Amino acid sequence: MSVRKAVIPAAGLGTRFLPATKAIPKEMLPIVDVPTIQYVVDEAIASGIEHVVLVTGRGKDALVDHFDRAPELEQFLAEKGKDDLLAMVRDIAEKCEVIAIRQKEPRGLGHAVLAARPAVGDEPFAVLLGDDIMVDDSRLLRSMLDCHERYGRSVVAVLEVARNDIKNYWCVSPEAMEENLVRIRSIVEKPKPEDAPSNLAVIGRYVFTPEIFDALDRITPGAGGELQLTDAISLLLQTQTVFGYSFETGRYDIGKKIDFLRATVELALDRPDLGDEFKAFLADLVQRRKIV
């Protein structure tokens, strides 16, 4: 069965970006003028996804509103003759069907994915984490979906990181299969570099068979009473093959402030309406601040 639905967990409090996220969902923080959540939804749509399930929490209504029609704004833009802006606003609302489900209590990523079960049903689905935005024309996600089509099994995105950095990630023990593809033997939580079975880190893109929901039902809460998605993947490995699809470029970990800034600068430079002027500004800044 082809994958038609993507789940985007978006119920987190965004504490690393306080005070900005005190009243604004972190997923609505913009890279220049595009909310980060829109990058993730656009990636899903470009890969062929038809339905997006947003798992939200209290104070996250702005996420749903962003992908809804805005009659008053549309009327204002039409009256002012701002046709380009009007088309852009309408396009955001009409790209695909967006469904919102509320995670009633913050019990971790696994619990957020499990909350989407009524909307997903008994079919395979993708999970895209909002802290990772991919600027790669959706190549990674499409490749993962193709892998699922071929083998009918779950696929996890993995990225080679510096050995000393693996302690910050869930790490896979891989068995080589073909270019960019490994069979996952096990997943280890944030191992010490000297104990890590590899330097392949689990990154926030997944394609799951529906059996992941049964695994999520069976795992027990960990620290803080949270259900860990990777614990469910470990349980799924006992009955099904799970693949790791490796990639190298296109990812911004915007959960980190420095990567958020990097994404803002690099993506602004790529904008045809801003790039040349912004590049000139940066060149002047480097000279004035004597940055070498």
Q: Is 284 exposed, middle or buried (0-12, 13-18, 19+ CB in 10 A)?
A: exposed
Residue 289 shares a structural domain with residue 204: no
Whether 32 contacts 268, CB under 8 Å:
yes
| 105 and 217 within one domain | yes
Q: What is the CATH number of the domain that holds 223?
A: 3.90.550.10
| 269 shares a domain with 146 | no
Name every residue whose Cβ is closer than 8 Å to that of residue 53 and which is 6 or more positions away in sequence. Answer: 5, 6, 7, 8, 99, 100, 101, 116, 119, 120, 125
Give burial (CB, 10 Å; 0-12/13-18/19+) of 168: exposed
Residues 191 and 290 in one domain: no
Quote the pLDDT of residue 14. Answer: 84
DSSP 95: S
Predicted confidence at residue 2, as pLDDT, reads 86
| Residue 252, beta-bridge partner list | 133
Asked if 271 and 221 sit in the same domain, the reply is: no
In a shared domain, residues 180 and 167: yes
pLDDT in tens, the chain (292 residues): 789 999 999 988 888 999 999 989 999 999 999 999 999 999 999 999 999 999 998 888 899 899 988 899 999 999 999 999 999 999 988 887 889 999 887 788 999 999 999 999 999 999 999 999 999 999 999 999 999 999 999 999 999 999 999 999 999 999 999 889 999 999 988 889 999 999 999 999 999 999 999 999 999 987 678 899 999 999 999 999 999 999 999 999 999 999 999 999 999 999 999 999 999 999 999 999 888 7
197 and 55 share a domain?
yes
The span from the CA of 179 to the CA of 155, in Å, is 14
Range of the domain at 275: 260-292
62 and 172 co-located in one domain: yes
Could you tell me if 48 and 124 lie in one domain? yes
Grouping H, G, I as helix, E, B as strand and the rest as coil, residue 255 is coil
289 in the same domain as 186: no
SS3 state at 271: coil
pTM for the whole thing? 0.92
- What is the tally of structural domains in the chain? 2
Please tell me whether residues 203 and 284 are part of one structural domain.
no
Same domain, 167 and 38: yes
Token digits for 112? 């957020």
- Of 236, 124, 110, 247, the closest CA to residue 185 belongs to 236
